[in-house]
A and B are shown apart, each in its own frame.
Chain A
Amino acid sequence: MESLGDEPWDVVICGTGLQQSLLALALSRSKKRILHLDPNDFYGQHEAAFSLQEADSWVTTHTGSSGAESVAQTTTAAPAEGSAGPGGRVFRNANVWRHPEAEANGLTFSRAYSLALAPQIIHTRSKLLSQLVSSRAYRQVEFLAVGSFYVHEPARGDEPAKLSRIPSSREDVFSNTSIPAKSKRSLMKFLKFVIDYDSDDQRDVWQAHADTHLSDFLTTQFKLDDDLRKYILALTLTLDGKVTVANGLAVIHRHLTSMGLFGPGFCAVYPKWGGLSEVAQVACRAGAVGGGIYMLDTSAEVETADVHDKVSLKLSNGISVQAAALISSRDDVSHGETISRLVAVVKSPLKSLFEATVEGAPAPAVAVVAFPSSTIPASESASDPPVYAMVHSSETGECPNGQSAIYLTTHTSPSAKKNLEQALGSLLATAAEQETPICLYQLYYEQTVSEGTPLVETVGAVPKFSFPSPSPNLAFDDSSLDTVKQAWKQVMGDEAQDDEFMIFEDREGADANDEIYE
């Protein structure tokens, strides 16, 4: 067995988050010598998915800065340079709660669960899907449909609280019985506008307002009432409710034009077994098939940077290796936006949320529920930011049959945890068919993000490229693929051919001979 330290590596990749893993996939046919490490003993880094046991041990290392008052600017100790850290700075204030009689109520063995740390839905138009297909990695990932989007409507007078499905197609709007005719016309007009909002004809309508709040634009330009505005804002999946016209229209455009692309009734997909974690693992396997060497539970520190055109790295297992390029991830997250997440396992399949709404549509495995800000988002009042709940059925493989995994997200504030818990309570009360289902397990944590751009530096004479931390978005953002391509170009140098990025032939050879055995 050849030794790791014998020959220099063309690139050492630290971290197996989605972006580093996609880079490994992109480099998997390049003949580059690649050493791919992760300081954690699991794949996926910030996008990992955990069994209950793994979640427990992750929590013990991410409980940092638990004093509720000093949440904002506290940072944990700096990780070793070049190691990217095990996500110690990106996630914090983690804690876990179990129902006192969780097992008796159905919380089963640890590996029956695969809870995603930062789940994102993937719109069918996303380049991630076309790249997974063109790179031939898609066969190892199972994709499920994301179904309906709902808005939670609090009780009004005699009317109890309910979940209203957001109409997002022509048919949906026509068949909806709760929207008055006049509002329907405004909504139709808006939906029609968004489909080609970026055409020459339509651009005049919004460009002057590009940087203003979408909410105001909907009122002034399209006369949408409070309810409709709530629907449209919910579709943007933005956590502060203050999305701009330019960004908001782009997101709603993506939503509407993704609808029906792969089949009727859905606009986004979700990878089974824990979302992007699964994509990262499949990408890493492609890297391994291409000859990359994988080591988990191993970090790296820069030892010396003055060895000609190489950098010398000391691995945490004591081995020294030489690298001609370094890939890592940004952990300078202290000034970034922070979001609070609550993952809950509940004892109910919540069937009403997963009904296919269009004939011939696949049964959805994910439903999205928005809890809008209590007041008009554009106002300057101290209203609580919206909460989003991504409800995953057991079809995702993230929990056993008869249970659901619910991922709630909001902007971090002193009341974030309470708001998430309240939203969870409201969701369970309105989505359940009979009695309110009980919650078996909860995992709370906060996630901070770095600046959204990569950090490109040199260590000695060697380039070091650090990916930004995952975006806090609830839908996968294609811009991170551009960053992967940028890193790929950095590593490939002159050999990089734009039109060859992520485009590969199938690996498996032609069929072998038939064999008959009786």
Chain B
Amino acid sequence: MTSEDALPVLKVLIIGPSGAGKSALLLRYCEDHFDPETSTATIGIDFKTKKLSVRGQAYRLNVFDTAGQERFRTLSTSYYRGAHGVILVYDISSKSSFLSMEKWIEEARNNAQPEAVLYIVGSKLDKVVSGGRAVSTEEGKAFADAQGAGFCELSSKTRENVRRPFVEVVDRIVQKPQLLKPPNANNNTLSISNIGSDYSSACPC
């Protein structure tokens, strides 16, 4: 069996407008944690790691949060580097949240690698019972279909469907071998992490 460190690593980003519930989804999925009080921008989360097996193969999933940089649309191009999948989240109780998806899809397409898997999530499904739905399932699905993206609705609060986008994104990623091994990835990237510990012992000449 492969050791944990040798698991293939997949980078998945969560993007979308402020207040759509991106961090709630990340925390519910990765840590099964939900804080109904926290509604402001998230501080301190870079990414969370979760192991996930799909079709008998284990993967290490690194799920990245926007760190609030979506608020003024200042996500950097470097955020998108090497992402295998992008999950775009809107709030089903907010029409404007859904309408912004077009711009977010465009940003993802402009910055992520061409083969990256896109997946659209309608969040806050729990609000339906109190009559809070502003975007129908059909609208969301039709938009996702038109973009060739996967789609589901979920609630981080009730856990409903929370695992589904991640499982489906990984399932789509692993069916694209060219995404896992890009043609020009000759593995020339260097490891500089050893300088933390071995800096002084490295031979200078």
Contact surface of A with B, Cβ cutoff 8 Å: 1-2, 43, 111, 114, 124, 129-130, 132-134, 138-145, 169-170, 195, 256-257, 259-263, 269, 272-273, 278, 281-282, 284-286, 288-291, 293-296, 362-363, 365, 394-395, 401, 507-509, 511-518
Contact = CB atoms under 8 A, between A and B. Distances in A.
B190 A269 contact: yes
B76 A284 contact: yes
Nearest to A258: B204
B76 A517 contact: no
Given A130-B196, A289-B44, A296-B74, A517 B188 contact: no
Given A130-B195, A138-B192, A262-B191, A291 B44 contact: yes
Given A43-B76, A511-B51, A273 B81 contact: yes
B40 A288 contact: no
Determine which residue in A281, A284, A362, A512 has the highest number of CB atoms from chain B within 10 A of its CB, and name it.
A512
Contact of B68 (A132, A273, A286, A288): A288
B102 interface: no
A286 B67 CA distance: 9
A384 B154 CA distance: 67
Contact of A269 (B48, B111, B167, B192): B192
Contacts of B32: 512-513
Contacts of A259: 204-205
A16 B23 CA distance: 26
Nearest to A43: B76
B110 interface: yes
A133 B78 contact: no
Given A257-B205, A260-B204, A291 B43 contact: yes
Nearest to A139: B193
Given A517-B54, A518-B56, A290 B205 contact: no
A362 B186 CA distance: 10
A236 B81 CA distance: 33
A403 B84 CA distance: 25
A266 to B, nearest CB: 8
A144 B190 contact: yes
B46 A133 contact: no
A273 B51 contact: no
Nearest to A400: B184
Nearest to A49: B77
Given A111-B111, A124-B195, A129-B195, 8 more contacts: A43-B76, A43-B77, A124-B192, A195-B205, A262-B195, A281-B78, A508-B48, A517-B163
Interface string B78-116: 110110000000000000000000000000001100000
Interface of B is mostly: loop
Contacts of B50: 511-512, 515
A194 to B, nearest CB: 10
Given A281-B77, A289-B46, A290-B44, A256 B194 contact: no
A507 B190 contact: no
B137 interface: no
Contact of A143 (B19, B163, B186, B190): B190
Nearest to B203: A260
A285 B188 contact: no
Contact of B76 (A145, A285, A295): A285
A507 B78 CA distance: 18
B189 A144 contact: yes
B150 to A, nearest CB: 15
Nearest to A191: B205
B78 A289 contact: no
B45 interface: yes
A14 to B, nearest CB: 14
Interface string B12-26: 000000110000000
Interface in B178-201: 184, 186, 188-196, 199
Contact of A262 (B47, B55, B192): B192
Contacts of A365: 188
A272 B18 contact: no
A362 B43 contact: no
A157 to B, nearest CB: 37
B45 A138 contact: no
Contacts of B128: none
Contacts of A394: 184
Closest 10 CB pairs of A and B: A281-B76, A281-B78, A288-B67, A291-B43, A294-B74, A257-B204, A289-B67, A507-B46, A142-B189, A133-B196
Given A142-B189, A261-B204, A515 B196 contact: no
Contact of A294 (B69, B78, B194, B203): B69
B52 A515 contact: yes
Contact of A145 (B56, B68, B81, B188): B188
A317 B55 CA distance: 51
Given A130-B196, A260-B205, A285-B69, A508 B49 contact: yes
Contacts of A282: 76, 78
Nearest to B164: A517
Given A515-B50, A517-B52, A517-B54, A132 B192 contact: yes
B205 A395 contact: no
A273 B189 CA distance: 12
A395 B204 CA distance: 27
A13 to B, nearest CB: 13
B65 to A, nearest CB: 8
Determine which residue in B111, B202, B205 has the highest number of CB atoms from chain A within 10 A of its CB, and name it.
B205
Interface string B50-73: 111111101000000001110110
30 contacts: A1-B41, A1-B71, A43-B76, A111-B110, A111-B111, A129-B192, A130-B196, A133-B196, A138-B193, A143-B189, A143-B190, A169-B205, A195-B205, A262-B202, A273-B81, A284-B76, A285-B46, A289-B46, A289-B67, A290-B44, A293-B68, A293-B72, A294-B68, A294-B69, A394-B184, A508-B48, A508-B49, A509-B31, A511-B51, A515-B53
B30 interface: yes
